Structure 1
Amino acid sequence: MDADKGPLFREGLRALAIKAAVFDLTSDERLAEVAVAVPVDEMTHAMIAQPQLFARIADRTGFHLIHQTGQEHTDYEPDSFTHRAYRLAWGEPPARYWLVKDEVDRRVKILTARYASIGMDRAGREHDIEFTAP
């Protein structure tokens, strides 16, 4: 986590910048919800959990923060709009953080099986463990 937090924070900012740019061009929040890779999306959630900080950044820089959890797309793919926009702005996105949908799906299957093997369901949000009183 120590090695990834800085670079992943930068990627989260870049994803939000792409969303803000699309919104500035279109004034359409739905179109601004461009496809983002799952690790980057998770970082944007952590970042947005600091609303006062982001409100100050948005006010200072004049951008509109766009992130609608119910409308987000985590089906990032190479040569998608997001990938092309990122490349034009900053070069090739780091593959470590910009995982394509098939790779995310593969990893989720592995994690789901591991969670299930210890009695956890729904990505660790539910369990069927019976607790008994001491």
Structure 2
Amino acid sequence: MTTATALPAPADVAARAREIHSAWQADAEMQTVLDGCAKYNSEWDDFYGGPLISTYSVARDAQHLIGDALRVMALKTAVYEMTGNELLAELPVPVPVDVTCHALCAQFTVLSRVQQRTGHLFVHSTVNEHANATAWDTGDFTHQAYEAAFGPVDERYWIPAAEAERRRQVLDGKYAAIGITDRGMTSAIDYAAA
């Protein structure tokens, strides 16, 4: 397979993503995936995804985030199908939506059946997320392709890069006060023996 080294035009990705999204949604088990993801909300713990959303609540915000995650996955899959390049397909995505993509991908068994029946892979690579040097931002390729395919983004969830970093710094201070540092990767909490 030949792999492209440049992204296709956002409008071309958008057209293909709409087709993929429709195929996934038409699959008999896709609602099971989406419902399962929403019900699995006790496992959505994270330090810097959902909490970046002002007055965040999984119970209130899950359905919207799951919808965005599925649409973003369709964009990534469209890029992959059009280019054959997994690195290019790992589009930068706003942090709260990316965290939800991880929750969506956790529905592995049923997603495997949906992929098999529709012929469209769910393309997501955490390794490649970190290989891409740029974070999602307003007006970038992902934003253009998403809006061309699915309409305007909801700014509650699609937080621009500079604002996301400012909010992360606020969280850094709050978490440090209870012994959680390194963006949730280190804890100084010593649980004494009972």
- Same fold? TM cut 0.5: yes
- Residue from 45, 61, 64 that aligns with 1:4: 61
Q: Output one character per residue of 1:84-114: Cα deviation in whole Å (capped at 9) or x when no partner.
A: 1011111111111111111111111011111
Aligned 1:52-91 pairs, distance under 5 A: 52-72=109-129, 73=132, 75-91=135-151
Greater mean alpha carbon deviation, residues 67-76 or residues 24-33: 67-76
Gaps of 5+ in 2: 1-57
The one-letter amino acid paired with 2:116 is D
The higher-RCO structure (CA 8 Å, 6+ apart) is 2
Give secondary structure in 2 for the equivalent of 1:123.
helix
Deviates more, 1:10-19 or 1:96-105: 96-105
Secondary structure (helix, strand or coil) at the match of 1:67 reads coil
Aligned partners of 1:79 and 1:2: how far apart in 2? 29
Specify whether residues 5 and 133 from structure 1 end up closer, same or farther in structure 2 by C-alpha distance, changes over 3 A only: closer
Q: TM-score if structure 2 supplies the norm length?
A: 0.65
Sequence identity, in percent? 38
Partner in structure 2 of residue 113 of structure 1: 173
Considering only aligned residues, what root-mean-square deviation do their CA atoms show, in Å?
1.6
1:22 aligns with 2:82: no
Amino acid at match of 2:73: L
How far the C-alpha of 1:131 sits from its partner, in A, is 4.2
- Quick one: which amino acid aligns to residue 58 of structure 1? Q
Aligned to 2:42: none
Question: Structure 1 length as normaliser, TM-score?
Answer: 0.91
Q: Distance in 2 between matches of 1:131 and 1:90?
A: 47
